[in-house]
Chain A
Amino acid sequence: MKNNNIFITETHLEGESGGELEGFTVAIKDNISTKNIRTTCGSAMLKNYIPPYDATVVEKLKSAGATIVGKANMDEFGMGTTTETSYFGPTINPYDDTRVAGGSSGGSAAAVSLGKARLSLGTDTGGSIRCPAAFCGVVGIKPTYGLVSRYGLIAYANSLEQIGPMARTVEDASMLLDVISGGDEKDPTASKDEKDERYVDFVGRDVEGMTIGVPSELVGENVEKKVLISFEESMSDMESKGCIIKEMTLPSLEKAVAAYYIIAMSEASSNLARYDGIRYGLSGGFDKDWNQTFAKSREVGFGREVKRRVLLGTYALSAGYHNRYYAKAQSARAWIRKEFDNAFKKVEIIASPTMPVLPFKLNSSENDPLKMYLSDSNTVPVNLAGLPAISIPGKGDIKKGPVGIQFIAPRFEEGRLIRVGSALETR
């Protein structure tokens, strides 16, 4: 497994000259469409798929002068927390070759961690930028829902996912966010609101007097000791820089993992219905009838986790179960959103460990999907509420296990995340 299995496709595509990212190398997660460059979503279904157009974020990168160096490995269709569900094999952790890089944007995180690219783009549906950022010791930002255009992002769960920047420093990630954010006529959910300051200008700004809330639900029994120690050291560090730390409770968060998976799987079961093997993707042959060839192409083209999620989503939406699961999950989502809104009347930032655990051992997750889903407890609430969040390497010796610290802000307050993030990063 050379080079940690970071790239599915390597390339070298220079952008226009004179832009703000001229000379910057960028890796792009392989579910973001790149014109004439294979885009697989980490799936056998799309192993030969070549998009005829660029995603909006890719167009923006090209005109900003960035050099695209490759399409980064990922869990199949973004469904996973380890990058092990990729048809192209797992990405290996940069700090420990017996462990995973995290997922689903594992290739994007490892690429910047190991210097294969200065910047990278990931996507985050339930933690897929923040988890691998934490496991690979880099910075990852999940933007507010609607800040970055999703045009050209191959969909998994539309109401939850966002494209976001990853880098080794908060400053680099902020520069990339400045380039990719903004309205887009091709994405009706992308907000047109103009910002009056560049994100990168928030780097290094004072955090004196800033209030940070820590919900007890996100630092509970499921958090490993090493993670908790790093989190506590990081909060002490923020206190020494003038922040005020407050404990709080958000009871709705106990329901977040269940609500998230019901909604994500339901949306996935509908989204992935486009893979019929007729217009693109792996063909199921043409000898039998529609139902048979359709089901054949998906039997061969999808991996086990994708099948699991599409089947469970189909179950949750099927007659008799819709109210019990999907409608309840939407209620939970509204409740979580409301509790966050109320919390932000009392504190300016909410903090938690990004992942409650250290990077998993390779090959330890396939047989217990529920255990894997439960490890997303701290990241999924953010997607359900459409909020922005950042993951920053925590205090402590990274060689003994990388830990990420997550900061969450109100909608469209990425500037605030960059302020606290750059404060924690200052040693």
Chain B
Amino acid sequence: MRKIQVGSEEVRRISELAKINVEDEKELETFAKQFEQIISYFEIIETVPEFESEADIKNVLRQDEIENSLSKEEVFLNLESGDDKGYFKGPKIR
């Protein structure tokens, strides 16, 4: 099995893609070490033969008709910023 190398810089790059801040150097190093172990283990699937999956489940669809949905009050119930005149409040776009 191949040993995969993962460094702190790689973890930092992934954390930017995933949009999760990881700033602490020690945490980056710990993640890097664990990721090396885990991803190296994942290499055991290298030898899996090609298999096509046969879908034996089907989508159950319904008619596209207008039905009752949540009220505006309910939708805004969980805003941390409070109900800002019926709009979601987001950060500035620069």
Contact B17–A314 (Cβ < 8 Å): yes
**Are the C-beta atoms of B38 and A312 separated by less than 8 Å?**
yes
Given A289-B91, A325-B42, A369-B34, does the pair A318, B19 have CB atoms closer than 8 Å? no
- Mask: chain B, 50-93; 1 = CB below 8 Å from A; 0 = not: 11111011011110000000100011011111000000111111
User: Which of A100-108, A206-214, A273-281 forms part of the interface with chain B?
Assistant: A273-281
Q: Does B25 contact A (CB under 8 A)?
A: no
Main secondary structure on chain B at its contact with chain A? loop
**A334, A337, A370: which contacts B38 (Cβ < 8 A)?**
A370
Q: Are A334 and B51 in contact (CB under 8 A)?
A: yes
Cβ of A59 < 8 Å from any Cβ of B?
no
Given A269-B18, A370-B38, also A286-B57 (CB < 8 A): no
Residues of A within 8 A of B44 (CB): 254-255, 258
Pick the contact of B45: A255, A282, A310, A314 (CB < 8 A): A255
Inter-chain contact A335/B51, CB cutoff 8 Å: yes
Tally A residues with Cβ within 8 Å of B.
72
Q: A48-B78, A335-B48, A370-B37 are in contact. Are A290 and B17 (CB under 8 A)?
A: no
Q: A313-330, CB under 8 A of B: which get 1 and which 0?
A: 011101000001100111
A42-83 to B contact mask, C-beta < 8 Å, 1/0: 000000111011000000000000000000000000000000
Of B16, B42, B77, which one neighbours A52 at CB under 8 angstroms?
B77
Flag if B78 contacts A373 (CB, 8 Å): no
Q: In the complex, which residues of chain A have a beta carbon less than 8 angstroms from the beta carbon of B37?
A: 370
- Are A328 and B48 closer than 8 Å at their CB atoms? yes
Report A268-310 CB contacts with B as 1/0, cut-off 8 Å.
0100010001111111111111111111101100100001101
Q: Which residues from chain A contact B90 at a C-beta distance below 8 Å?
A: 278, 286, 290
C-alpha gap A324/B94 in the complex (Å): 37
Number of interface residues of B (CB under 8 A): 50
From the candidates B20, B42, B88, B91, name the one contacting A302 in the complex (CB within 8 A).
B20
- A312→B88 contact, CB < 8 A: no
Select one of B16, B53, B62, B94 contacting A334, CB under 8 A.
B53
| Cα–Cα distance between A256 and B77 once the two chains are bound (Å) | 41
Which residues of A are found within 8 Å of B34, using beta-carbon distances? 308, 369-370
Contacts of A318 on B, CB cut-off 8 Å? 14, 17
The answer to whether A375 has its CB under 8 Å from any CB of chain B is no
Asked if A246 CB lies within 8 Å of chain B CBs, one says no
Which B residue sits closest to A289, measured CB to CB?
B94
User: Within the assembled complex, what's the spacing in Å between the Cα atoms of A292 and B59?
Assistant: 38
Query: Does B21 lie within 8 Å of A295, measured CB to CB?
Result: yes
Chain B positions 7-36 with a Cβ under 8 Å from a chain A Cβ: 11, 14-23, 31, 34-35
User: CB < 8 Å: which of A254, A311, A328, A411 contacts B18?
Assistant: A311
By a CB distance below 8 angstroms, the chain B residues around A187 are: 60
Beta-carbon contact of A190 and B60 below 8 Å: yes
CA distance A318 to B80 in the complex (A): 32
Shortest Cβ distance from A285 into B: residue: B91
Please tell me if A151 contacts chain B, counting CB pairs below 8 Å.
no
The reply to whether A287 and B41 contact each other, CB–CB distance below 8 Å, is: no
List chain B residues, Cβ under 8 A from A333.
Answer: 53
By beta carbon, the residue of chain A nearest B92 is A289
- B59 lies within 8 A of A188 (CB): yes
Cβ–Cβ < 8 Å partners of B49 in chain A: 331, 335
A198 at the interface (CB under 8 A from B): no
Question: A313's closest neighbor in chain B, by CB?
Answer: B18
Q: A191-B60, A295-B21, A311-B11 are in contact. Are A258 and B41 (CB under 8 A)?
A: yes
- Cβ contacts under 8 Å, B45 to chain A: 255, 258-259, 262, 325, 328-329, 331-332
CB A185 to nearest CB in B, in angstroms, measures 5
- The 8 A-B pairs at the shortest CB distance, nearest first, are namely A299-B21, A52-B74, A334-B51, A280-B78, A334-B53, A283-B80, A314-B18, A298-B20
